[in-house]
Each structure stands twice: as C-alpha cells, then as structure tokens.
Amino acid sequence: MHRVGFLKSIHVKIVLIYILLILIAMQIIGLYFVRELEDSFVTNFQDSVTDRVSLIEFSVREEMIRERSEEDATQEQSLRSILAGLNSSDIKEIRVIDERYQILGTSDSDNQGIVGQRSVDELVRRTISSENPENVISLDEISRERIWILSVPITWQGDVIGALYIESNIENVYSQMDEINQILAGGTAVSLAITIILGIFIAQTITHPISDMRKQAQAMARGNFSRKVKVYGDDEIGQLAIAFNHLTNRLQEAQSTTDAERRKLASVLSNMTDGVLATDRKGRIILINDPALELLKVSRDSVLNRPITSVLQIDQDTTFEDLIHQQEPMSLDYSTHEMPYILRANFSVIQKETGFVNGLIAVLHDITEQEKIDMERREFVANVSHELRTPLTTMSSYLEALAEGAWKDETIAPNFLQVTQTETARMIRLVNDLLQLSKMDSRDYDLTIEVVNFNQFFHRIIDRFEMSKSQNVAFSRMLPEKEYFVAIDPDKLTQVIDNIISNALKYSPDGGTVRFGFTVKDGFMQVMISDDGMGIPKENVDRIFDRFYRVDRARARSMGGTGLGLAIAREMIEAHGGRIWAESEEGYGTTIFFTLMVEPEESEWE
C-alpha cells in the first residue's frame, strides 16, 4: 500500500482546517473591531474639534461684527489674540476668512504673512457659497501626515460673513489604530500558536483511531484478519471502531467459507472425469479444469480469455448466442483418419435473478468409446442378421421345393437335404461362436491350464492339417530344436491355431506355402503362421480381429466362414496373457503373430 503524503494526511488537514477557521474568525472579528474602533476614534476626534470650533466661531463673529473706536485694538490684533489661545496638540492651525475670501487672521504664529491675502482654498469657497460646513482628510505635503481640514461658515442674521478654516492633526488617531492593530496581530499570533498545539492534540484524538482502521484495512487487503482496532471511546469513532472489528470478524468468516468452498470446487473440478469450462458474459473462457485440457489437448495459457467457440473449434458455424440457446447436447467430432475422437458438450447458462446472462458452463464428455460400442453393436446386429438370413433363406427355399414334391425326385432330394444340413451346421457354428464370445465378454469361462511342450503341441496340430488338407499347399516348419514349455489351456489354444491355419489354407493359392515358426526372447514366445494368399490392404490390417469383419466377404461366405474366428482367437490369446496381431502386404500374403509366456527351464517338469 502507498504511504499517505504529509499534505494529504487527514491529521494535517484537520489541523489546517482548524487553524484556517480560527484565523478567518479572528480576521473577521479583527476587521470588524478595528473598523468600528477607527470610526469611533475619528468621530470622537471630529466631534471634539467641532465643539471647540463652535466656541471659536462665536468669538470670531463677535469681533467681525463689532464696531470699533480709535482707542480699540485692530480687528487683526483681536483675532490674533483669540486664535492664539486656541492652539493645542490636535488643532494645527485656524484661519478666519471673510466673505470676500480675504484671510483676516491665523493661529499659526509662523504663518502670519498670509493675513490680508486672498484664500485660494476650494473648500473655503464651497463653504461660503453653499453656506454649509465642508471637511476633508488630506495628506500634508511637508510632514506627510494626515490632517483633517474643516471649513465652517460664519453667519450673522442669516448672511454668511466669512468662514473658519481649521487644520487638525488626525494622524494621532491613526497612530493609535496602528498600535491597536499591532497588539491585535500579536494576540492573533499567540492565539494561532496555542490553536496549533491544541489542534494537533485534538486532531490526534480523531485521526489516531482512523489511522488504526486504515492499517487494519491494509492488513485485511493483504488477507490478514487477525488484527483488531482499539476502541478509544463511546463516541461515533468508537462505534465505528466496534463496527469495523465486527466487519473484520464477518469478513474473516466469509473468507474462510469462500476458501473452503473454493477448495471444494477446485477438488471437485480436478477430480472430475468430465471436462468443465466456464465463460464470462462475453463468451471468453475464465475457468477450465485439467480433464477439459486433456480432452481438448490444449494448454491452460492458450485457452484462457479466448472465445469458447474458438477453443471448441465451432466458430465457423456457431456463435456464443447460439450456445446460450443450445438446449440439446452437442457432438464435437475431432476424429482423424487414423483415430476416431468424439466429445459431447452440454451447455448451461449462468443467469442472475434479473435474467441477465452472466456466463456459460460447458461440460465435456468423451463419448468415443460409447460411439464405437454403439457402432459395433449396430454392425454386430446387422452382421448377425445378415449371417442368419442367408442360410435361413437358402433353407427356406429348399424346404419349400421339397414340400412342393421335390422330395419324390431321388436325384434332387438328396442334394437339397445336403444343402439344408450344410446351412444348418453353419448356423450352429455361428451360434456356438456367438455363445463362446458372449462367455468371454462376460468372463464366464474357465481355463484349464496345463504345462505342455509347445514344440510337440505345435507339431501335432500342423501334422493334422497337413494330413487332411485337400489343396496343393506346402507346409514349411521353422521350429527350433530346443524344447520350450508353456502354461496354456490346450483346447483353447488348439482352437486358436486351428482358426489361423484354416484361414491360411483358405486364402492360399494352389502351389502356395504356409510357414510355421516361433522364437523366444525375454521370457516370451512369439508364434508365427504365414501364407502366400491375396493379402490384406494396409488400412484394414488392424480390423481383421473385429467381429464379423472379412476382407473378401463373398469368398469368405462361400468357404463357410462366420467372421468370428480371429475375434475368438484374440480373446483366447489375451486370456492367456499374450497378444495377437497381423502383418500383411496386399498381393504378397499375410502373417499372424501371437505371444505366450514361456515357463522357466528349472521347472519340475523338465
């Protein structure tokens, strides 16, 4: 997890917000206080000056309207005397101006030279002309201090006879305000320092539990549910800490349940013999178990996040929407020329309660063997029906001929009866072979095992065929002189060798040769019986041991074969723990091989 930056910390934010709020409040209070105090000081100063000006105005008016004798002082002297007594720290200068804008007197002893001159001050002119007081705060060009200039009209009997021009030093008021502002700023700084200290402690009481919960949340994100948040009180944060601890316990329980269910699901998926695929709502594979990988012969990395239609190789004819609406199982044929391979896919839609499709589950079954068994069953029924229908049809036609009077013909009747007997014997052989295969399929048979000298055993069977054969076929024996013993059921193995030699004689041409031999290696005997017949096409060699299979069906039936001899031979050899196979080249004959386990030489029968 990333560490929180200093400025992004909630602790710092709370302190900063607390300080800003206090600072803003103090600034608002300070501005209001200073403004009101300044207005009060200025107003008091102006009222004080105005009150004194009222007294001055009365004295000056009396001097201006008084009639003078020769013994009296001049008006200028009288006004100078009156104004001289009014000098103070706050009043800088007072001038008396008549209605003709002539300066009659001034309180400034250093500025007596302006007496008798015309006043050019605009404020005085407006006062005389408007008969109303005028005032303005101005900046002294020499001292660079603020002064308050007041111009008051002097009236007598309703007429303006002059004006008083007063310059008062209001800079003292603003100096006092500056001192007050400095005191307020100092107080603000001290308050902020105290506020910062208190804010840090107050913020810690809020942020410390939150920091604990943040650390716990980070630990929970890593899968650690063992930590608990400390509860510091019963306030909202304390209740939040209690709720957070309860949430941790619930999440731990839910995580444990989820992990258990995930392990169960993983165990079920991994131990299923069927393949399972799951997709998201767009049809991309998000889950696939090992049996599905084996059935599809793909790797996990190559199929994850790929469309299911592409993985199943049905994207040419089928879309994901088609699979969603697929109700019946779908057969997936991956067969090649050499090997059949068929899968069956059942599709199930994952839907929410609202009906929104959230994905798809596909279950794959390998039905190759089932299809093969079904095909073999169909072929078996068809072959048995065909094999029975042919002799039955022949017998039915001959019996009908006999019933219609052919039995009276001494030349025809014996031939018809012989054909009927031959077909009956053929059906009996077929039924016996079927019964024997049925017993072997159900393992309902017993082998009578004997230890026999295979050299003598093989010679006896070959001798019997050599004495009874009718066609011009030579026998070639390539048996070793050393005697070998095998544990076999003589009757069953005699039947196997009889079937193989019978087939070799049937398909060998006149003048051909049937060769016999065996070799021994690593404790196993490999027996060989070869002929010079027509051979078997390469693509059919492995099928000659299937039931009812014939390379040349017409010739095999004419020779009375049932197509079950080699199938019975395979079952017999496998029952003895060996195996049987064929090698053939079309036009050059066929060789049948089978193996048997050789008994050790130190056995008691040696």
Residue 526 domain flag: yes
Taking alpha carbons only, the member of 238, 252, 247, 248 closest to residue 210 is 238
Same domain, 292 and 430: no
Q: What pLDDT sits at residue 606?
A: 44
| Percent above pLDDT 90 for the chain | 7
Q: What pLDDT sits at residue 373?
A: 74
Same domain, 571 and 513: yes
- Total structural domains within the chain: 5
How many H helices and E strands in the chain? 15, 17
**CA atoms of 60 and 76, how far apart (whole Å):** 11
Same domain, 89 and 20: yes
Lookup: tokens for 588: 């050059």
Q: Which helix (H) or strand (E) holds 582?
A: strand 580-584
Taking alpha carbons only, the member of 515, 518, 502 closest to residue 475 is 515
Q: Which helix (H) or strand (E) holds 413?
A: helix 413-441
Taking alpha carbons only, the member of 349, 344, 341, 340 closest to residue 330 is 344
Q: What pLDDT sits at residue 444?
A: 57
Q: What pLDDT sits at residue 445?
A: 62
DSSP-derived 3-state class of residue 190? helix
pLDDT tens-place string over residues 332-362 = 888 887 788 888 899 988 887 777 888 898 9
DSSP-derived 3-state class of residue 443? coil
Please, which residues have CB within 8 angstroms of residue 492's CB and are 6 or more apart in sequence?
447, 572, 575, 576
Residue 207 domain flag: no
What is residue 408's DSSP assignment? G
Mean pLDDT of 184-211: 78
Residue 358 domain flag: yes
**CA atoms of 483 and 455, how far apart (whole Å):** 6
* Inter-CA distances, 29 with 23, 192, 195, 502, Å: 10, 14, 16, 126
* Inter-CA distances, 300 with 129, 259, 288, 319, 343, Å: 106, 22, 7, 22, 19
* Inter-CA distances, 379 with 20, 386, 388, 437, 546, Å: 95, 10, 14, 16, 11
Q: Which residues of 245-275 are buried (b: 16+ CB within 10 A; e: fewer)?
A: beebeeeeeeeeeeeeeeeeeeeebeeeebb
CATH classification at residue 68:
3.30.450.20
Q: Which residue range(s) make up the domain with 426?
A: 372-441
pLDDT band at 605 (very low <50, low <70, confident <90, very high): very low
**CA atoms of 345 and 333, how far apart (whole Å):** 11
Same domain, 288 and 243: no
| Percent above pLDDT 70 for the chain | 86
Same domain, 411 and 478: no
Q: What pLDDT sits at residue 593?
A: 93
Q: What pLDDT sits at residue 421?
A: 78
Mean pLDDT of 482-511: 87
**CA atoms of 383 and 390, how far apart (whole Å):** 11
Final residue of a domain: which of 441, 470, 490?
Answer: 441
pLDDT tens-place string over residues 296-317 = 888 988 889 999 888 888 888 8
**CA atoms of 248 and 251, how far apart (whole Å):** 5
Highest mean pLDDT among 150-164, 248-262, 581-595: 581-595
Q: What pLDDT sits at residue 21?
A: 81
Q: Within a 10 A sphere around the Cβ of 320, how many other Cβ atoms?
A: 17
Using the predicted structure, report yes or no on whether residue 2 has a pLDDT greater than 70.
Answer: no
Q: What are phi and psi of 316, to 5 degrees?
A: -70, -35
What is residue 304's DSSP assignment? T
Q: How many residues does the chain have?
A: 606
8 A C-beta contact, residue 285 and residue 320 = no
Residue 566 domain flag: yes
Q: What pLDDT sits at residue 69?
A: 60
CATH classification at residue 416:
1.10.287.130
Q: What pLDDT sits at residue 603?
A: 44
**CA atoms of 85 and 83, how far apart (whole Å):** 5
User: Where would I find the beta strands (DSSP E) of 210-356?
Assistant: 275-279, 285-288, 330-333, 342-351
Taking alpha carbons only, the member of 337, 339, 348, 338 closest to residue 371 is 339
**CA atoms of 520 and 526, how far apart (whole Å):** 6
Q: What pLDDT sits at residue 525?
A: 92
Q: What pLDDT sits at residue 320?
A: 87
> What's the whole-number average pLDDT of the chain?
79
pLDDT tens-place string over residues 521-559 = 988 999 999 998 888 887 777 778 776 666 654 444 444
Q: Within a 10 A sphere around the Cβ of 323, how many other Cβ atoms?
A: 20
Burial class (CB in 10 A: 0-12, 13-18, 19+), 527: buried
CATH classification at residue 552:
3.30.565.10
Q: Which helix (H) or strand (E) holds 98?
A: strand 91-98
pLDDT tens-place string over residues 205-225 = 777 777 777 777 777 777 777
Same domain, 413 and 472: no
Same domain, 297 and 403: no
Same domain, 393 and 540: no
What is residue 102's DSSP assignment? B
pLDDT tens-place string over residues 68-82 = 665 555 666 777 767
Q: What pLDDT sits at residue 554?
A: 43
Mean pLDDT of 465-488: 86
**CA atoms of 400 and 420, how far apart (whole Å):** 11
Mean pLDDT of 65-70: 66
pTM score, whole prediction: 0.43
8 A C-beta contact, residue 516 and residue 529 = yes
pLDDT tens-place string over residues 281-292 = 888 998 888 888
Lookup: tokens for 321: 């929407």
Lookup: tokens for 565: 């001899």
Same domain, 378 and 362: no
Mean pLDDT of 5-15: 64
**CA atoms of 502 and 471, how far apart (whole Å):** 12
8 A C-beta contact, residue 575 and residue 592 = no
Mean pLDDT of 89-93: 76
DSSP-derived 3-state class of residue 76? helix
Mean pLDDT of 120-148: 81
Residue 518 domain flag: yes
521: which strand partners? 524
8 A C-beta contact, residue 46 and residue 149 = no
Q: Which of 286-300, 351-365, 467-481, 554-568 has the least mean pLDDT?
A: 554-568
Same domain, 435 and 300: no
Same domain, 277 and 265: no
Q: What pLDDT sits at residue 318?
A: 87
Q: What pLDDT sits at residue 551?
A: 60
Same domain, 151 and 46: yes
Q: Are strands 474-478 and 513-521 parallel, antiparallel or unpaired?
A: parallel
